Amino acid sequence: MAAWQVISGGVTAPKGYRASGIVAGMKPSGLPDLALIVSDVEAIAAGVFTTSYVRAACVDYCRQRLEAKAAARAILCNSGQANAGTGSQGWDDAIASAQAVAQALGCEADAVLLASTGVIGQRIKMEQLQAGVPKVVAQLSETGSDQAASAIMTTDLVPKVCALETQVGDRPVRMGGIAKGSGMIHPNMATMLSFITCDATVSPHIWQEMLGRAVDKSFNQITVDGDTSTNDCVIALANGQSRTPAITAMNAEAETLEAMLTEVCMILAKAIVRDGEGATCLVEVTVSGASSDEAARKIARTIAGSSLVKSAIFGRDPNWGRIAAAAGRAGVPFSQDDLRISLGDTLLLDYGQPLPFDRAAASAYLTAAAESSDPDANTVQINVGVGSGTGHGVAWGCDLSYDYVKINAEYTT
């Protein structure tokens, strides 16, 4: 039984948070495009960011702010323009954005963190953003999480929101999150943003370490198309408003909190892949028997990210040879005589030996997953064994459809 329960409220479920999302006029579509999350008090802040050498101004801005002080009051996110590849003007726009929020909230500019998403090479429409900041501040609400989740979307079809509650000591602790992402999704990280709020009291270094491990097991284990972007970030705030004892070292309470943080990240990560551009199903790849968990995760990521595997799943073709080939090129040593592959309940390869199987039934399994509206039934399960080691890892991907090319061919037009 899980040590937490699912609750409603997203990023405003924990105590002491408000959020909002508005139409500021930065998106040509006229959809919501400016989101704000605010803690009533200064919160401990942690962040994990893209590993790309081409980064948006907001990524460098947040890194600098968090290195100087691991605390924040607010997160502002605009959608429509990525503000990446925009040179010194993009940096100036980031500084001006933080200053506008600080003035409206009555806090210091270094208490404001930033995120942007949209077309690379386009500066933020600063006139619209600066006019929108007072409005997004005025609409802050303890029930504003859904509005914020909608305002950070670009090609997403649905918002990604979750919240959980657990007990630390004898008091409830809540954690909520929102995310965006649909394409340019690949480990390290992807075109994804996620903002997580929590009302526990945690030491800065513990919170950062927890977030790093949670991201490695979730957002760094998803792939849609093999592309990593310029703006990716996961920012997590912990404001202490649950009034629970401070977590200053890894103990039982810390493990409970980290498990819940990892679960929030996994829920949001899988929601991103499920909403992959043109996707018809989620693909979950589980690898066991590796020499270490990281080795297993690497094999799983390689299989989930294989264009040939993804194309076969879209074509409802149980072509296990593509799975075997992807596992073999992951850069993790194993004996092919130990390789086992299952698709759903159907064992296709057993200790390196191909098995006869009902191809029509296996294809029907893939078809049923693609056509199901149930999140559990909409998932294709691929299980791979590579030996007798204790390493275990999971990665998530989606199929690769014709619509993926159409969506991305028309993205800036």
List, by residue number, the catalytic residues. Answer: 191
Q: Residue 153, preceding bond cis, omega within 30 degrees?
A: no
Q: Distance between CA atoms of 116 and 24, rounded to whole angstroms?
A: 14
Burial of 353 (0-12, 13-18, 19+ CB in 10 A): exposed
Which of 201, 351, 183, 341 has its CA nearest to residue 273? 183
Q: Which amino acid is at 221?
A: Q
Q: How many Å apart are CA 142 and CA 327, to the nearest integer? A: 46
> Can you tell me the distance from the alpha carbon of 26 to that of 225, in angstroms, rounded to the nearest whole number?
27
Task: Find the helix packing angle between 307-314 and 293-305, rounded to 10°.
Answer: 60
Q: Exposed, middle or buried: residue 29 (CB in 10 Å: 0-12, 13-18, 19+)?
A: exposed
Helices (H), 115-240: 126-138, 145-151, 204-217
Query: Distance from CA of residue 21 to its chain's centroid?
Result: 19
CA 326 – CA 307 distance, rounded (Å): 10
In the DSSP assignment, the letter for residue 377 is: T
